[in-house]
């Protein structure tokens, strides 16, 4: 029902102006004096002005894949900008479907674990100091494909503290975004056979300021970190020698037919467990980037020097050997870094999810630290423990954890 606009009497209008001036002085906002009812905001459509000290923005389209845990995983980043000159505490974040239906609520320790300041991804916090930016690393999962939302928005609650004419709790709905509708691309194996330990999520928070924008090209990246022998060991002999590791020198394969858009082969291997610092330009080490289709690229990093077998502009077939797994670039031990992205750069791109056409899951390593300790151990080298409660043969699924998998041989 349409309602007539309310007009404040002169005395009430003066009090409103005074409140606006007081609020602006208190938290560093420019003063605004309203002489009439405000027009709808051209950005949000709101019919009244609401203080939103923390603005929200989803950095790139949320994307999803079907995991080997049977669930559908949706990942994206929500940028929170504290635009005022006082510290603000984020008290809760409700993730909503477009239209307002709640998916989940982050608060307390769960919110803190999912949030950090920009540039400090390993330091959980819910505090936004004055004029700072925070990132909420949103990771959702659903039991069924139909539960994955078509669009999302967020209900953010922040605490500006006592002593101001508003709050202390201020809530705002924002951060609207459409969820990518296409399923994750199916790819072939980047390696052969074995029992490979695949580290999923090690680069989840690798948001980088590259070429004038924030990019997370490594959002869905996998580090193929170890190849286990029959005894479950990652290596034998001296852990400071690349040749001691079973994965070192293994052939790296094209995951699909495509075109080589970058092939670099000029960087030395690092010494395992004793890497030297490298520049940004050398971080990928010897690497190959393939174009698999429109807006879909596959990146391989840390190959052995002298092993790259392809050249820029060359067409390749699925399963073709591109090079050998090594330890060049920003790497502390032999491994293959693999990712899919929407631009021919491992950094200046948006990371895309992918699923493997087929593999066998043997179980999962209990923790990353367990793998690191076993991988750096001197003789006698201990086996890597494997939790075998999750296992099976899969098709068109993505890896979800510290998975131990066997890939097709060809």
**Concatenated DSSP letters of 177-234:** EEPP-SPPEEE--SS-EEEEEEEESTTTT--EEETTEEE-TTTT-EEEEEE--TTS-S
Residues 387 and 370: beta-carbon distance below 8 Å: no
Q: How confident is the model at residue 32 (pLDDT cuts 50, 70, 90)?
A: very low
pLDDT at 245 (0 to 100): 98
- Rounded to two decimals, what is the model's pTM? 0.88
Strand partners, 178: 151
Kindly report, residue by residue over 353-365, the tens digit of the pLDDT: 999 999 999 999 9
3-state secondary structure of 11: helix
Torsion angle of C-alpha atoms 263, 269, 274, 278, degrees rounded to 10: -40
Q: How far is CA 271 from the centre of its chain?
A: 28
| Phi and psi angles of residue 155, each rounded to the nearest 5 degrees, phi first | -110, 105
When pLDDT is averaged across residues 138-160 and rounded to a whole number, the result is 98
| Phi and psi angles of residue 88, each rounded to the nearest 5 degrees, phi first | -130, 140
Residue 376 burial by Cβ neighbours in a 10 Å radius (0-12, 13-18, 19+): middle
Residues 152 and 180: beta-carbon distance below 8 Å: no
Kindly report, residue by residue over 363-383, the tens digit of the pLDDT: 999 999 999 999 999 999 999
Domains by residue range for the chain, with CATH: 54-178 (2.60.40), 185-407 (2.70.70.10)
Average pLDDT over the chain reads 90
In three-state form (DSSP H/G/I as H, E/B as E, the rest C), the secondary structure along 318-340 is: CCCEEEEECCECCCCCCCEEEEE
When pLDDT is averaged across residues 333-339 and rounded to a whole number, the result is 98
């Amino acid at each position: 029902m349409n309602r007539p606009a309310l007009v404040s009497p002169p005395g009430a209008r003066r009090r409103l102006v005074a409140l606006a001036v007081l609020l602006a002085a208190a938290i560093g906002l420019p003063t605004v004096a309203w002489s009439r009812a405000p027009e709808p905001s051209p950005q949000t459509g709101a019919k009244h002005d609401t203080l939103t000290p923390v603005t929200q923005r989803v950095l790139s389209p949320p994307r999803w894949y079907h995991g080997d845990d049977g669930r559908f995983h949706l990942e994206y980043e929500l940028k929170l900008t504290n635009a005022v000159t006082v510290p603000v505490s984020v008290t809760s974040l409700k993730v909503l479907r477009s239209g307002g239906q709640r998916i989940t609520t982050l608060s307390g320790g769960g919110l803190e674990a999912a949030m950090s300041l920009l540039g400090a991804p390993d330091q959980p916090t819910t505090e936004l100091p004055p004029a700072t930016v925070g990132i909420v690393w949103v990771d959702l999962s659903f039991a069924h494909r139909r539960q994955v939302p078509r669009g999302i928005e967020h209900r953010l609650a922040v605490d500006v503290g006592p002593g101001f004419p508003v709050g202390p709790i201020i809530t705002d709905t924002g951060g609207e975004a459409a969820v990518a509708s296409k399923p994750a691309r199916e790819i072939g194996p980047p390696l052969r056979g074995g029992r490979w330990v695949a580290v999923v999520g090690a680069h989840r928070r690798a948001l980088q300021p590259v070429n004038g924008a924030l990019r997370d090209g490594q959002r869905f990246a996998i580090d193929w970190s170890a190849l286990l022998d029959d005894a479950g060991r990652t290596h034998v002999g001296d852990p400071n020698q690349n040749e001691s590791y079973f994965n070192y020198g293994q052939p790296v394969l094209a995951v699909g037919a495509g075109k080589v858009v970058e092939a670099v082969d000029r960087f030395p291997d690092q010494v395992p467990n004793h890497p030297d610092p490298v520049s940004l330009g050398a971080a990928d080490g010897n690497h190959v980037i393939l174009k698999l289709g429109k807006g879909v690229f596959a990146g391989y990093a840390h190959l052995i020097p002298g092993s790259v077998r392809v050249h820029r502009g060359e067409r390749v077939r699925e399963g073709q050997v591109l090079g050998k797994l090594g330890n060049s670039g920003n790497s502390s031990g032999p491994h293959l870094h693999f990712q899919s992205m929407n631009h021919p750069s491992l950094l200046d791109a948006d990371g895309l999810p992918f699923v493997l056409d087929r593999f066998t899951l043997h179980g999962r390593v209990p923790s990353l630290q367990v793998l690191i300790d076993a991988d750096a151990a001197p003789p006698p080298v201990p086996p890597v423990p494997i939790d075998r409660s999750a296992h099976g043969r899969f098709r068109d699924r993505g890896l979800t954890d510290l998975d131990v998998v066997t890939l097709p041989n060809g």
